[in-house]
């Protein structure tokens, strides 16, 4: 709101520099004064108090002794307000990205309506938000009831809605959409879709790269299901019931209020629990597992539109182990019961180390530390190695505050400029840029609360990079990890010799412990290694290089791509996945059939059919 208020004052001050032969009391004879009058006229139809606020705030600013209001301030009178307006506008825009409201289809179906909405937000956002705040505090109850009813109707049903995921790789045009605000609404939405004879898929935040979400039938947006109920009554086994659309950020905040946290998690904070508990997501650390492994129960709406609870008590362990990486097939998730832990701190150490030394010491490094995570920026001799260990040491001041977030924002903005735009123009500059990038990384030790170490990189939402990841069981001596690493270096070099630099961000390596969930490469005993590549833009050769690496990494028996990352473009990938799954494919389908949540495969979409349908040719 404050940035919008500054933007408003900057805009009107800028306009006030242009003289006009029409005097407005207190505001003078200038375009800014007339614009304020027009704004007052605009707001008077909505609310008298807000109208008064527009007039009062602007007039107070205009008559302040040091205010640069009105003509006669020279070039600075134009330039300074314009710079302030742009900066405040950009801040407001990125605050919007940061808080990530996903259902963009609600912003107005017609581009003209959307443009009007944006103009309104950019120009009068401060007054709009003030009015909203007042309404929330009980001002104009009748209007609130009308707006609530309007919102409910808008959210309940939409038709022919186009949707695209964050990475802009997977899209659909849904015949029917609904954004339930309560679990009753969710039940209604599923029944309504079924009564129309439609298949149903759900969008959490849409951060999955693969086409797991799209359905041209019915799409349900679960982002308004955001209630959290913490149960810390058993101090040794705290749990939390979380509605499907709760984001990691909301969950972390609520858990922290109770001195609790997730024992492991993904990096991104704007994903929603139902999304991360459906796709086999993971963090880092040999004592960790997949997010699905933290699930104690799912409350789902089945294909008949009935609410039911899936837990080991109600359906048994095998079915739960399938549902814990259910890809949205075990019904529409309404709520999830998660195991959580008392908050603790970790010592996080970032070091620069030669790749050869790191590879040699890898077994002992992984043995010694709770977590070892590696980042290699191609064409560098060294790697960034992060170790994480539980500690009782006090939290250091250099934590995840304003400066880290600002630094992350600038790093990501630089990545967009350099690795997307510049390398597109001059691809051969990629190695030099990656070396500079490595040089600029801060290497230090910090003591953090565990969630800060999970979500160490902020603002990733602004840079939709490409991403492919494969998981496999690490050999006892890490020989297959070393091979995966060496293959990456060799392939990157071979492409560079051809003048191609498609891997223009990083190779990331993480290790996790064993998992119970049937469809993950981490299933069963032993440590799992996840190797992941990320690239910006779509540099020449990205599809060939990522396919080549993916297929090479998948040679390890049991290896599988991450379900929500990019893999659909890799030739022959589905037969490899099915071979890696072995009998777990049939076990998964049997577990899915047994509780009868979806006898007609209502919750399947084309990608799931391609991956799992025993009758679909691979």
Ligand X SMILES: Cc1cc2nc3c(=O)[nH]c(=O)nc-3n(C[C@H](O)[C@H](O)[C@H](O)COP(=O)(O)OP(=O)(O)OC[C@H]3O[C@@H](n4cnc5c(N)ncnc54)[C@H](O)[C@@H]3O)c2cc1C
Q: Residue 320 in contact with residue 354, Cβ under 8 Å?
A: no
- Cβ of residue 98: shortest distance to ligand X, in angstroms? 13
Q: Per CB under 6 A, does 274 bind ligand X?
A: yes
Question: Which residue from 175, 194, 224, 282 is in contact with ligand X, where contact means CB under 6 A?
Answer: 282
Question: Which residue from 54, 92, 266, 374 is in contact with ligand X, where contact means CB under 6 A?
Answer: 266
Listed ranges 71-79, 118-126, 271-279, 341-349: which one lies at the site for ligand X (CB under 6 A): 271-279
Q: Smaller CB distance to ligand X: residue 274 or 338? A: 274
Interface of this chain with ligand X, residues 211 to 240, rule: CB under 6 A:
212-213, 222
Tell me the residue ranges of DSSP E strands in 320-450. Answer: 332-339, 341-342, 345-354, 371-376, 382-391, 445-449
Listed ranges 32-40, 270-278, 347-355, 384-392: which one lies at the site for ligand X (CB under 6 A): 270-278
Let me know if 4 is exposed, middle or buried by CB neighbors in 10 A (0-12, 13-18, 19+): buried
How remote is the C-alpha of 225 from its chain's centroid? 17
C-alpha to C-alpha distances, 255 to 240, 342, 429, nearest whole angstrom: 8, 9, 45
C-alpha to C-alpha distances, 126 to 8, 17, 134, 291, nearest whole angstrom: 8, 22, 12, 39
C-alpha to C-alpha distances, 157 to 114, 123, 165, 175, 224, nearest whole angstrom: 19, 30, 20, 10, 14
Question: Which residue from 178, 380, 564, 602 is in contact with ligand X, where contact means CB under 6 A?
Answer: 564
Q: How far apart are CA 73 and CA 56, in angstroms?
A: 23
Q: Smaller CB distance to ligand X: residue 166 or 379? A: 166
- Cβ of residue 166: shortest distance to ligand X, in angstroms? 6
Interface of this chain with ligand X, residues 574 to 603, rule: CB under 6 A:
none
Interface of this chain with ligand X, residues 456 to 515, rule: CB under 6 A:
460
Q: Per CB under 6 A, does 205 bind ligand X?
A: yes
Listed ranges 12-20, 174-182, 276-284, 582-590: which one lies at the site for ligand X (CB under 6 A): 276-284
Listed ranges 88-96, 205-213, 314-322, 567-575: which one lies at the site for ligand X (CB under 6 A): 205-213
Q: Per CB under 6 A, does 262 bind ligand X?
A: no
Give every CB contact of residue 406 below 8 A, 6+ residues apart in sequence. Answer: none
Q: How far apart are CA 223 and CA 204, in angstroms?
A: 6
Listed ranges 269-277, 373-381, 398-406, 570-578: which one lies at the site for ligand X (CB under 6 A): 269-277
Instruction: Return the number of other C-beta atoms located less than 10 Å from residue 436's C-beta.
Output: 13
Q: Smaller CB distance to ligand X: residue 89 or 471? A: 471
Question: Which residue from 68, 77, 89, 206 is in contact with ligand X, where contact means CB under 6 A?
Answer: 206
Tokens of 510: 């993480």
Q: Per CB under 6 A, does 554 bind ligand X?
A: no
Q: How far apart are CA 292 and CA 89, in angstroms?
A: 39
Q: Smaller CB distance to ligand X: residue 288 or 387? A: 288
Instruction: Report the candidate in 597, 616, 613 with the shortest Cα–Cα distance to residue 194.
Output: 597
Bridge partners, 386 (sequence order): 350, 373
- Cβ of residue 65: shortest distance to ligand X, in angstroms? 49
Residues at the interface with ligand X (CB under 6 A): 166, 201-208, 212-213, 222, 244, 266-268, 271-272, 274-276, 278-279, 281-282, 327-328, 332-333, 460, 564
């Amino acid at each position: 709101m404050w940035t919008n208020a500054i933007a408003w004052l900057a805009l009107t001050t800028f306009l006030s520099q242009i003289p006009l032969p029409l005097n407005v009391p207190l505001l003078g004879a200038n375009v800014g004064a007339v614009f304020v009058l027009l704004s007052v006229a605009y707001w008077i139809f909505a609310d008298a108090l807000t109208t008064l606020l527009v007039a009062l705030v602007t007039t107070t600013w205009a008559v302040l002794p040091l205010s640069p209001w009105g003509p006669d301030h020279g070039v600075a009178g134009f330039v300074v307000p314009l710079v302030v307006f742009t900066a405040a506008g950009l801040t407001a825009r990125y605050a919007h990205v940061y808080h990530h409201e996903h259902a963009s289809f609600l912003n107005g179906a017609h581009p003209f309506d959307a443009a009007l909405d944006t103009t309104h937000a950019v120009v009068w956002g401060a007054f709009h938000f003030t009015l909203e705040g007042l309404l929330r505090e009980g001002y104009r109850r009748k209007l609130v009831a009308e707006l609530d009813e309007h919102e409910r109707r808008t959210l309940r049903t939409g038709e022919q809605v186009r949707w695209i995921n964050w990475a802009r790789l997977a899209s659909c045009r849904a015949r029917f959409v609904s954004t339930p605000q309560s679990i009753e609404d969710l039940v209604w939405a599923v029944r309504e879709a079924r009564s129309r004879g439609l298949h149903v898929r759900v969008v959490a935040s849409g951060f999955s790269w693969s086409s797991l979400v799209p359905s041209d039938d019915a799409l349900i947006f679960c982002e308004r299901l955001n209630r959290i109920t913490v149960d810390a009554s058993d101090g040794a086994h705290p749990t939390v019931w979380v509605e499907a659309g709760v984001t990691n950020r909301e969950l972390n905040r609520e858990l922290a209020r109770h001195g609790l946290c997730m024992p492991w998690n993904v990096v991104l904070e704007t994903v929603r629990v139902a999304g991360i508990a459906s796709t086999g997501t993971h963090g880092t650390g040999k004592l960790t597992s997949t997010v699905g492994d933290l699930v104690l129960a799912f409350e789902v709406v089945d294909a008949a539109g009935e609410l039911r609870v899936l837990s080991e008590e109600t359906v048994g362990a095998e079915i739960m182990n399938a549902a814990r990486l259910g890809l949205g097939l075990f019904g529409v998730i309404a709520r999830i019961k998660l195991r959580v832990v008392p908050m603790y701190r970790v010592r996080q150490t970032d070091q620069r180390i030669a790749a050869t030394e790191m590879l040699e010491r890898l077994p002992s490094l992984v043995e010694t530390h709770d977590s070892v995570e590696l980042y290699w920026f191609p064409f560098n001799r060294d790697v960034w190695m992060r170790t994480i260990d539980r500690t009782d040491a006090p939290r250091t001041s250099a934590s995840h505050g304003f400066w880290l977030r600002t630094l992350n924002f600038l790093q990501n903005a630089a990545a967009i400029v350099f690795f997307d735009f510049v390398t597109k123009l001059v691809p051969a500059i990629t190695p030099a840029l990656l070396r500079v990038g490595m040089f600029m990384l801060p290497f230090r030790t910090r003591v953090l609360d565990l969630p800060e170490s999970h979500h160490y990189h902020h603002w990733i939402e602004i840079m939709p990079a490409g991403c492919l990841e494969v998981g496999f069981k690490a050999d006892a001596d890490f020989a297959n990890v070393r091979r995966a690493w060496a293959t990456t270096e060799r392939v990157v070099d071979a492409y560079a010799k051809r003048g191609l630099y498609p891997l223009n961000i990083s190779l990331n390596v993480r290790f996790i412990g064993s998992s119970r969930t049937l469809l993950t490469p981490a299933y069963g005993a032993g440590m799992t290694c996840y190797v992941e590549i990320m690239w910006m833009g779509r540099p020449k050769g990205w599809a060939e290089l990522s396919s080549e690496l993916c297929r090479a990494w998948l040679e390890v028996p049991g290896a599988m791509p991450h379900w929500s990352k990019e893999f659909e473009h890799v030739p022959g990938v589905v037969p490899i996945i099915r071979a890696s799954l072995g009998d777990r494919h049939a076990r998964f389908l049997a577990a899915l059939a047994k509780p009868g949540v979806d006898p007609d495969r209502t919750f399947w979409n084309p990608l799931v059919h391609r991956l799992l349908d025993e009758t679909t040719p691979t």
